[in-house]
Amino acid sequence: MLDHYDLTVSSDLANLARIADFVAGAALQLGLTEQQVFEVQMATDEACANVIQHAYGPGVPGELHVRCELAGGDFVVTIRDRGRPFDPRQVPPPDLTCPLEERQIGGLGLYFMGQLMDRVVFRSDPQTGNELKMYKRRSP
């Protein structure tokens, strides 16, 4: 069994299914439960869709590099890109008390990622690009 799994794809929404399959395979190989696999897939799908749509933008060529690995008791998904930098502190938390018909479309991605994963860490560097690390504690 490998200790990490890597995938690089172009920034195209058509690659989301390939990323989801890749993450599921790696998560199962590295000991996550079916429920954890689902949660990691959902968080990764949201993160990668955001990179494709916002960091690069529609039709802008670029790559996403996805790595899955174990770090201690955590399964870690790392997503790297060279798109526009992102600062999650600039995104206001969603108002979940507001009626659905009054809510803005979108804006729940970060919230879902935080709910599905145990820890989410963003880093942006002008030299190396953007990096998102999402951690999921493995069940004993």
Contact 78/133 with Cβ under 8 angstroms?
A: yes
From its phi and psi, is residue 63 left (phi > 0), alpha (psi between -120 and 50) or beta? beta
Which tokens belong to 115? 């709910």
Instruction: Characterize the bridge pairing of strands 4-10 and 63-71.
Output: antiparallel
Which tokens belong to 79? 């997503």
**pLDDT tens per residue across span 12-52:** 999 999 999 999 999 999 999 999 999 999 999 999 999 99
| Domains of the chain by residue range | 4-137
Q: What is the pTM of this model?
A: 0.89
Position 105 confidence tier, pLDDT thresholds 50, 70, 90: low
Half-sphere exposure of 95 (CA within 13 A, CB side): 9
**pLDDT tens per residue across span 111-137:** 888 999 999 999 999 899 999 999 999
Q: Which of 133, 129, 33 is nearest to 82 (CA)?
A: 129
Fold entry, domain 4-137: Heat Shock Protein 90 (3.30.565)
Q: Which of 66, 25, 63 is nearest to 45 (CA)?
A: 66
